[in-house]
Amino acid sequence: MKSIRALPRLFIPGMEMGSPFEIPRPEFEKLHNVLRLRSGAEIGVMPNDGSFWVCKLDGRTAVPIEKHEPPTEPELRITILQGLPKGDKVDDIIRSCTEIGVAAFVLFPADRSVVRWEAKKLDDKMRRVQAVAREAAETSFRMRIPTVEYVQNLDEALAKRTDIVALSELESVSTPLLAAGSTISLVVGPEGGWAPREVEKLSPYACTLGPRVLRTEHAGFAAASRLLIS
C-alpha cells in the first residue's frame, strides 16, 4: 500500500465511515474527471474529525479499508482575528496560515480597513474563503478544516475571549510573542494599522515580533510559524 500521504485525498465532513458510502457528486467528479481515478483506486477520505480513512473506489462508492489518526493537528489551537485587508490578500492569509496549522479565523472590518464586505455579498465571500481553507487543509495533510467566521468589528471579534495576543508595530511595545496556554487568539491589523481607539483597546494584549514591520498578509503567518514550528 502507498504511504497515506501519497494518496489522493478529500474532505467529506460529517461522513459516517464505518461502511461503504456514496461519494458526493462534486467530490466524485473531481476524482473521476480531474484525477482520472477509476474503480479499484485507493483514496484518502477525511471526515473532519481528526481521522484519515483509506478507501477503495467501486464506481461512485467508497469502501473503507483502514483508519489512521495522523498527528498533524497542533496541540496549540491558534485563532487569527484578522482585520480585513484589500483585494485577495485574505485568501493568501487563510491559505498560508491553514498550511502552517492555524485552527480558526475570525475576519472583521477594522476602523482603518479599506474594504467592507456588503451584506448582499457576504454569503458568496464566505463560501469562497471557506473553500480556500478546505483546499489548503487538503493539500497540507490537515485532518480538520479551519473554521472561518465574519463579525462586524474588533469589539465583536474580541468578545468573550481570554487568550488574546495583539501584534503591534509600536516601538514602545517590547513584550515578545508567547503562548501561555493551549489556545491563543492572535489579533492582526489591516494595511492601515489600528485607529487610536483600537490601539487603546488592544494595549493590554500588545506584543511584538521584533524590530521590523510586516505586511498584514505576512504577520499572522510569521506569528503562527514562530508558535507552531520548533
Q: What is the CATH number of the domain that holds 13?
A: 2.40.240.20
64 and 125: one domain? Answer: no
Q: What is the pLDDT of residue 230?
A: 61
Last residue of a domain, one of 68, 90, 109: 68
Give the integer Cα–Cα distance in Å for 77 and 136.
17
32 and 102: one domain? Answer: no
Domain containing 10 equals 4-68
Q: What is the pLDDT of residue 120?
A: 92
Cβ proximity of 93 and 82 under 8 Å: yes
Burial 19-46 (b: 16+ CB within 10 A, else e): eebebeeebbeebbeeeebeeebbbbbb
Task: Quote the pTM value.
Answer: 0.93
92 and 20: one domain? Answer: no
Last residue of a domain, one of 48, 68, 88: 68
Residue range 25-30: mean pLDDT, rounded? 92
91: CATH: 3.40.1280.10
54 and 100: one domain? Answer: no
203 and 95: one domain? Answer: yes
Identify the band that residue 179 occupies on the pLDDT scale cut at 50, 70 and 90: confident
172 and 104: one domain? Answer: yes
Our separate counts of H helices and E strands in the chain read 6, 11
19 and 107: one domain? Answer: no
29 and 111: one domain? Answer: no
CA–centroid distance for 61 within its chain = 29
Residue-wise pLDDT tens digits, 137-172: 999 999 999 999 999 999 999 999 999 999 988 878
Residue-wise pLDDT tens digits, 194-213: 999 999 999 999 999 888 88
96 and 122: one domain? Answer: yes
141 and 61: one domain? Answer: no
195 and 81: one domain? Answer: yes
32 and 126: one domain? Answer: no
159 CB neighbour count, 10 Å cutoff: 8
Number of domains in the chain: 2
Last residue of a domain, one of 35, 50, 68: 68
Q: Cell numbers 496541540 label which residue?
A: 75
